[in-house]
Chains A and B, each alone.
Chain A
Amino acid sequence: MFTKFIREKAAFMIFIIVCSVFYFGLGAADVKAQSSGRLQKACCEVTKDNDSCVYADRNECDPDFRNALTTCENTNYCAVGTCIYDKEGECFANTPKSLCERNKGTWSPENINELSQCQRGCCELGNECSFITQTKCKAETSKFPFLNTIFDASLTSEAQCINQCRSEEKGACVSSDGSCLFTTRGACKEVGNEVVSNASSSLKTGFHTNVLCSNPLLGTTCARQQKTGCFNEDVYWLDSCGNPENIYSSDKDKSYNKGFSLKEQESCQANGANDPNCGNCDYSKASLCGKADEVDAKFGEFICKDLTCKDLTINKASPDAAGEKQTGERSGSACAN
């Protein structure tokens, strides 16, 4: 009986032993791997690659910082809140505490929407507006010592903020009756719309930045360069509606600039006072717009007049003078009459 199955029994025993060897061998390897932490995931406060609060293989954690065998939301050091960087003026929502403090930020457990310093408003920097936090506005303004912080928290959208700064832009304000006024965006109450009129070109109502009222694209009733007049210190071309266009130049096309505004520095340069061809006067060099009398302008009645004194009067009756006093000044500077 015993000898009958001895070969089968031996084969079965060998099979069991071989299986056991593989089973226990692999199992032990698994236990060893686990005990050495090779397959364990942990929340690293800082990883070896310097990343903060990453749920990764425990071996990736920087041993100088904390780690825990759980996801990061269950740890105290990776608790989330709002991080405020005063220097840069930035706010980050739901940021881990340890990351914020490591970057020298101020961490608060409050929601970003509940912190006043993280609410955006309109920051005016020179002639530009940005929709940023007050902290960032202060940080940006401090880069320019000659600027004051202008922050308006009442403007709650970026579009409103940008429009605020653009209110001083100048351009054509076209009404639906075809009339036009060259004014600022803030002063123009006309709504932008395209109206088909009886004229060949359609009427474009509303505000058009840097466009002259006589520009044919607008379809207004104003005609270009009808006369000249004084505007600020310079001589300007005026349209038939009385709006100033660009600085007077006898080269009419150049001055018209295809119906768009031309900056003073891009306009003609007057060859001193009484230049009949250019109305770009310079008060610091004693020339100012006035009615032409000595010299005729090539077009219109106005010219850059000479302000220098022709006659120097010596006043010996000056009360506190040790020497002689003069009224007026020498040629080259403004005459104080």
Chain B
Amino acid sequence: MEKRGQISVFAIVGVVIVAVVVLFLVVRNNVYFGSASIENLEKEFPPVQAHVEECLEKVGKDFVYLIGQQGGYLTTNPGTFREYGGFGINYLCYNIEGKPECRNRGLRLIDIETALEKEMKDEVNSCLDIGQFNKIGLDVSRGDLKLDVSAGNDNVLIDADMPVKISKGSAEAERNDFFVSLDIPLGRLYNSAVDIVNSEATNGNFETLTYSVLKTRVTNKPYIVQKLQPYPDKLYVLKIKDVPDSKNEFIFQFFVEDEPL
């Protein structure tokens, strides 16, 4: 009888200890114990910053890959693209009746950057969940998001201008600038697309092999320029082998419209 009583006491003590530990963990994650100084509030920024950057990277990667697969446009408007291989791939040069040359669509790098900024904004906004960092005694809030995308030769820089405030009482810490760099050669492949389109627009053809060899020599990486001919058009597929990695190669592909025989 005494033994049974002892076991009950141990069981109760065990349950109480487990409950206290669980309560401690819950409270620790949901209640802010730090003082209301700017230095302490600043210490709360790293997870918020990591979350914002994670969203920028995830959304940025998806959109940059898509824009490469669709020929520099995120939209596929009537008369401007052709379905091929599961993608709506844009024409970057339109057929001129009875002539080998084509009419340049004049896609600029700034157009690509602007399209990315515009279309990514909603996705980044829905990805961001700043409220998850609120704690009892700590308020985390954010303002409007403004994106700036800049496509370099070998990387795409995404800069988010968005005020994030962490406050407790009258003390307040704020950060505005969040930034990620994606190792995607969008600018380099776009420049090659301009070379190809300019050649197609003036001469009606483009020599892929010589170009690939020269670019491989310059970049020290296998630079691949493929020309496919799904009748009656020409499809150019550009990539740098194993960039950013072998499993997830970035491609930039586009159509040059040609005339049916």
Contacts and interface: CB of A to CB of B under 8 A. Distances in A.
A88 B194 CA distance: 13
A55 B199 CA distance: 22
Interface string A68-106: 000111000010100101001011111110011001000
B218 A73 contact: no
B97 A51 contact: no
A72 B77 contact: no
Given A73-B97, A92-B104, A112 B198 contact: yes
B79 A94 contact: no
A158 B108 CA distance: 21
B110 interface: yes
Contacts of A111: 202
Contacts of B110: 88
A85 B108 contact: yes
Q: Which of A49, A85, A88, A94 has the most CB of B within 10 A?
A: A94
B218 A47 contact: no
A100 B108 CA distance: 11
A74 to B, nearest CB: 9
Nearest to B98: A73
A54 B79 contact: yes
Contacts of A88: 108-110
Given A111-B202, A162-B218, A96 B79 contact: no
Nearest to B96: A73
B108 A94 contact: no
A213 interface: no
Contacts of A60: 78-79
Contacts of B94: 53-55, 72
A72 B103 contact: yes
A78 B103 contact: yes
B108 A80 contact: no
Given A92-B197, A93-B197, 5 more contacts: A51-B80, A93-B201, A94-B93, A96-B104, A159-B217
Interface of B: 75, 77-80, 93-94, 96-97, 99, 101-106, 108-110, 194, 197-199, 201-202, 214-215, 217-218
